[in-house]
Amino acid sequence: MNTDKKPIRLSVFIRVHPWPLLLFLLAALPCAAQQIAIRMEAGAFRIEGWQPAAPPADGWPSLFQVFAGEGDVPAMLGSYSVDGGSLVFHPRFPVAPGMRVRAVFHPPESAPIEAVFEVPKAAAPAATTRVAHVYPSINVLPENQLKFYVYFSAPMSKGRAWQKIHLLDAAGALVVLPFLELDEELWDRDSTRLTVLFDPGRIKREVRPLKEIGPSIQAGKHYTLLIDRDWPDGRGAPLAQEFRKEFRVVPPDRTPPDTATWRIAAPRAGSAGPLVIQFPKPMDYALLQHLLEVAGPHGPVAGTIAVEREETEWRFTPREPWKDGDYRVTVQTTLEDLAGNHIGRAFDVDTFDPITKSLPRETVSLPFRTRH
């Protein structure tokens, strides 16, 4: 910004709400230059009363720039046009509500003109977003619990998770660094589900963090997962209320899930009733949504999946009635239990123990025949 000449400072405080309705607001009253004024118009900045000629050698920014925010900040990104005989600056993005914006014009022949605009704050959105559910649903977790899925009722903001999620012990004291605090944050595409991994260094046997400070959660103790109410959702509103999930911890589970222990209730031929599979322990809620598939004599069977009874039951309702015949459920061995143990393989494989060595198969097939 050229500061050789003292600018003529004109301030107009625009108090129009809502922000998108800001149209043709006079930003700077003509003063020394009398005819020259800067208007903010539908999100663009227009110089009135000055006839632009060819762009100067250094480009339009050498004459006209708009600054958002206070202090030594660069001019906003944007483009210029000559529209109806006026020079217009179009910001790359709409100026955010609540911002103070300063437009500075350096007429070639006279003193600079400056106009300040205060974009009205948006009305605070209603606090309606909630924690819809946290999986696992069960309130008894193994000491080597691997993750939580936190489902929200609407999209959330990113980059704040580790300030808003806490683990408390039975006395209400904060557990220090129980989770893997990845800056990237493991959201889904819609920003409605966050995956919270417990620190794997405090789960995995024989690595230094577990030796130094022990597991994040300890068998025999009670804890509370706390999610703060002031976590902004995707619109900037806080949650409708804080969320707490209390749970008790039992010894670590290092037993890989075994499909031989699953109970399959075959559906009746001709019915559209569900195929039901029951597990002896809860399984990973998210993976149950897509790692089990049903196929019949005529190929894959389309249908809907429901996970019930604290993730110990998988129900598949076919789109078309079951036919008389042989079917099978194909299970990807990457399916995990709550502790990250795969089908046939523990989370951390004990290579001294042949029983827990890696299972090379990628799928397990569970045949069943429809009932009559």
Partner 1 sequence: MRLSYSLSGLAAGLCCAAVLAFGASSGSMQTGKAPLKSAGPMAFGPDGILFVGDSQGAAIMALDVSDRTPARSGGSLEIKGVNDKVAALLGTSADQILIQDVVVNPISKNVYLSVSRGRGPDAVPMILRADAAGKITEVSLENIKHASVSLPDGPAEASRQRLETITSVKYVNGNVYVAGLSNEEFSSSLRSIPYPFTEATKAAGIEIWHGSHGRFETNAPVRTFVPYEIDHQTSILAAYTCTPLVKIPVSDLKPGSKVKGTTIAELGAGNRPLDMIVYTKDGKHFILMANSARGVMKLPADNLETFQPITRQTEITGVPYETIASLKGVQQLDKFDDANALVLIASGSSLDLRTVPLP
Span 259-318, contacts to partner 1 by CB under 8 A: 284, 286-287, 289-290
- Residue list 325-344, contact with partner 1 (CB under 8 A): 334, 336, 340, 342
Q: Identify which of residues 176 and 355 has a Cβ nearer to partner 1 in the complex.
A: 176
Q: Identify which of residues 211 and 263 has a Cβ nearer to partner 1 in the complex.
A: 211
Q: Identify which of residues 50 and 285 has a Cβ nearer to partner 1 in the complex.
A: 285
Distance CA 24, CA 294 (A): 62
Closest CA to 70 of 116, 39, 33: 116
Asked if 155 contacts 192 with a C-beta cutoff of 8 angstroms, the reply is yes
> For partner 1, how many residues bind (rule: CB under 8 A)?
80
Q: Pairing mode, if any, of strands 8-12 and 113-118?
A: parallel
Q: Identify which of residues 22 and 156 has a Cβ nearer to partner 1 in the complex.
A: 156
Distance CA 281, CA 89 (A): 62
Give the x-and-dash track for 194-233 against partner 1 (CB under 8 A): -x-x-xxxxxxxxxxxxxxx------------------xx
The identity of residue 72, as a single letter, is: D
Min dist. Cβ of residue 159 to partner 1 (A): 5
Q: Give me the residues paired with residue 249 across strands.
A: 141
Residue 18 within binding range of partner 1, rule CB under 8 A: no
Min dist. Cβ of residue 264 to partner 1 (A): 23
Q: Identify which of residues 210 and 301 has a Cβ nearer to partner 1 in the complex.
A: 210
Asked if 7 contacts 113 with a C-beta cutoff of 8 angstroms, the reply is yes
For partner 1, which residue of 95, 167, 277, 292 counts as binding (CB under 8 A)? 95
265 burial class (0-12, 13-18, 19+ CB within 10 angstroms)?
Answer: middle
Residue 15 within binding range of partner 1, rule CB under 8 A: no
Asked if 329 contacts 294 with a C-beta cutoff of 8 angstroms, the reply is yes
For partner 1, which residue of 19, 50, 64, 67 counts as binding (CB under 8 A)? 67
Closest CA to 282 of 159, 161, 179, 135: 135
Residue 174 within binding range of partner 1, rule CB under 8 A: no
Q: Give me the residues paired with residue 260 across strands.
A: none
Asked if 33 contacts 113 with a C-beta cutoff of 8 angstroms, the reply is yes
Min dist. Cβ of residue 181 to partner 1 (A): 7
Residue 160 within binding range of partner 1, rule CB under 8 A: yes
For partner 1, which residue of 180, 217, 292, 331 counts as binding (CB under 8 A)? 180
Residue 156 within binding range of partner 1, rule CB under 8 A: yes
Min dist. Cβ of residue 59 to partner 1 (A): 13
- Residue list 20-59, contact with partner 1 (CB under 8 A): none
Bond into 18 cis (ω within 30): yes
Radius of gyration in angstroms for the set of CA atoms belonging to the chain, rounded to a whole number: 31
Asked if 277 contacts 259 with a C-beta cutoff of 8 angstroms, the reply is no
Min dist. Cβ of residue 102 to partner 1 (A): 10
